[in-house]
Amino acid sequence: MKASKGILGAAIGALLLGSVSAYADTIKVGIIGPFSGPFALQGKNFQAGVEAYMALNGKSVKGHDIEVIYRDLPAANPAQSRALAQELVVKEKVQYLGGVYFTPDAMAITPLLKQANTPLVIFNAATSAIMTQSPLVVRTSFTTAQTTSPLGKIATERGVKKVISAVSDYGPGVDAEAAFKKAFEAAGGQVVEAIRMPLNTNDFSPIMQRVRDSGAEAVFAFLPSGPTTLGFVKAYNETGLKQAGIKFFAPGDLTQESDLPALGDGAVGLLTTFHYAVSHDSPENKKFVEAATKAVGGAEQLSFPSVGAYDGMHVIYKMIEATDGKQDAQKAVDAVKGLSWTSPRGPVSIDAETRHITENIYLREVVKGPDGKTFNKEIQTFPNQKDPGLATQ
C-alpha cells in the first residue's frame, strides 16, 4: 500500500511538474512598432506579417507555444523604445524581441541585449550600422543602401548625367545618399547638390524649387515610408517637375502599395528599386498575400513591412527550434547564420558575417492594371544583393 501511494504521489508530482513545465514552456516574443499615430499602418503591417506566419505555420514550435506581446511606439523615440524593451524583458519575460520601425529606436535597444540574453530581430529599421552595435541582432528587412545601390546604374542607363539628391536627415537617409552617390558616380554621373531634410518636414514646395533650379535631369529621393513619402511624391507631381521632364528615382518606400491609390495617375511611370512588391509573382507570395490581407483587413492596406515581419517570425521560429525553447541568445543567433529559405519576396538567406538578409532587389515601374488600379510592376532583377552600406560609410 505504501509503495502504491508512493507511486501515485510520484505520478501526481510528475503531472504537476508537467503542467508547470507546460505553462512555463510558453515562449514569449515582444514586438515593438508604431501601432498608433501617423505611422500606424506600418505597425499594422508588422502585426499582419506576424499573424500571417502563425496562421500558415502554427502557433507552436517543437511543442513550445508561442505568445506574441505588442508594444506601441508611435514615432521615433529612443528613450521610450529602450523603456519598452526593458519592460518586455523584465516584466513580461520575453525571450525574443522583434519589430522596430525607426533606426534610432533600434540603436537604443541594442545595449540591452547582452545582459538580457535576448536576440533582436529587426523587421524594418534600415541603417546598415545597426548590425555593428550588437552580435545579437538579426535583420530580415533591408537596408536603404541595399535597395538604393542599383539605381546609380539604372539612372545612367536612362541617359541621366546630373542628379540632385533629397533625403531625410537621419541614418537611413544618409545611407541612401551615400549609396546612390557612389553607384551613380561610378557609372559616370554627377550629383550636383545634396539636400538633407529634417524628419518632420511636411512642406516640400521649397525642396521642389531647389530641384528645378539645380539644373539636374533627375531627383533621387529617400524618406521614411508613411505620410512624408506620400507628401513628397505628391509635391513632385503638383509642382510640375514630372511634366518638366525631371526624372524621379527612389527606393520603393516612396511608392509603397498603400500610398498608390492616393497618388493616382501621378505615380504612373515612377521607377523605384526595392526588395518586395505585393504584386511579386510566386506561389509563396500568393499564399502570403492571402493570409496577410485577412490579417491587415484589406489588400489596399498591405505594404512591405509585412514581409519583414513574416520572415522575422520565420527566423524566430528557427531560433526557438535550435534552442529547444531555452533562453540562449547567442546560440539562437548562431543557429540562423547562413539560414536560407524561399520568402514571399524570393530566395533569401542570413549572411553569416553581417547577420543581415541577402535578397533580390527589383527594379519596379508603377503601371496601371486592367482593373484601372496602379501597382508596382517588377521589370528587372538584381539577384542575391548583400548590404553594401558599411562600405559606403
* Distance, CA of 13 to CA of 229 (rounded, Å): 60
Least-confidence region, from 183-187, 222-226, 253-257, 354-358: 222-226
Residues constituting the chain: 393
30-69 confidence digits (pLDDT tens):
999 999 999 999 999 999 999 999 999 999 999 999 999 9
* Distance, CA of 266 to CA of 296 (rounded, Å): 26
pLDDT computed for residue 105 by the predictor: 98
pLDDT computed for residue 106 by the predictor: 98
pLDDT for residue 392 is more than 50: no
Compute the mean pLDDT over every residue in the chain, rounded to the nearest whole number. 91
DSSP characters over 135-199: TTEEE-S--HHHHHTHHHHHHHHTT--EEEEEEESSHHHHHHHHHHHHHHHHTT-EEEEEEEE-T
Angle at which helix 305-323 crosses helix 283-296, to 10 degrees, equals: 100
Specify whether the CB–CB gap between 129 and 174 falls below 8 A.
no
Least-confidence region, from 186-195, 235-244, 347-356, 375-384: 235-244
123-142 confidence digits (pLDDT tens):
999 999 999 999 999 999 99
Gyration radius (Cα) of the chain, Å: 23
Specify whether the CB–CB gap between 365 and 377 falls below 8 A.
yes
**HSE toward the beta carbon, residue 167, CA cutoff 13 A:** 27
Taking alpha carbons only, the member of 112, 9, 115, 99 closest to residue 49 is: 99
Which of the four pLDDT bands, split at 50, 70 and 90, describes residue 287? very high
* Distance, CA of 64 to CA of 171 (rounded, Å): 37
Predicted structure pTM score:
0.89
Pairing of strands 271-274, 340-343: unpaired
Q: Which domains does the chain have, with CATH numbers?
A: 24-142+282-355 (3.40.50.2300), 145-274+361-391 (3.40.50.2300)
**HSE toward the beta carbon, residue 18, CA cutoff 13 A:** 7
pLDDT computed for residue 263 by the predictor: 86
Q: What's the whole-number mean pLDDT along residues 154-173?
A: 95
pLDDT computed for residue 389 by the predictor: 78
139-153 confidence digits (pLDDT tens):
999 998 999 999 999
pLDDT computed for residue 17 by the predictor: 37
* Distance, CA of 283 to CA of 113 (rounded, Å): 36
pLDDT computed for residue 128 by the predictor: 92
For the chain, what is the total number of helices (H) and then of strands (E)?
Answer: 14, 15
Which of the four pLDDT bands, split at 50, 70 and 90, describes residue 391? low
64-88 confidence digits (pLDDT tens):
999 999 999 999 999 999 999 999 9
Pairing of strands 271-274, 247-251: parallel
260: Cβ contacts below 8 Å, ≥ 6 apart: 267, 366, 373, 374, 375, 376
pLDDT for residue 11 is more than 90: no
* Distance, CA of 91 to CA of 22 (rounded, Å): 20
pLDDT computed for residue 341 by the predictor: 98
103-129 confidence digits (pLDDT tens):
999 999 999 999 999 999 999 999 999
309-324 confidence digits (pLDDT tens):
999 999 999 999 999 9
| Phi and psi torsions of 190, nearest 5° | -135, 130
Specify whether the CB–CB gap between 140 and 308 falls below 8 A.
yes
* Distance, CA of 36 to CA of 226 (rounded, Å): 13
pLDDT for residue 378 is more than 60: yes
* Distance, CA of 199 to CA of 196 (rounded, Å): 9
Inter-CA distances, 141 with 158, 218, 251, 274, 333, Å = 28, 27, 13, 11, 16
pLDDT computed for residue 262 by the predictor: 87
* Distance, CA of 58 to CA of 56 (rounded, Å): 6
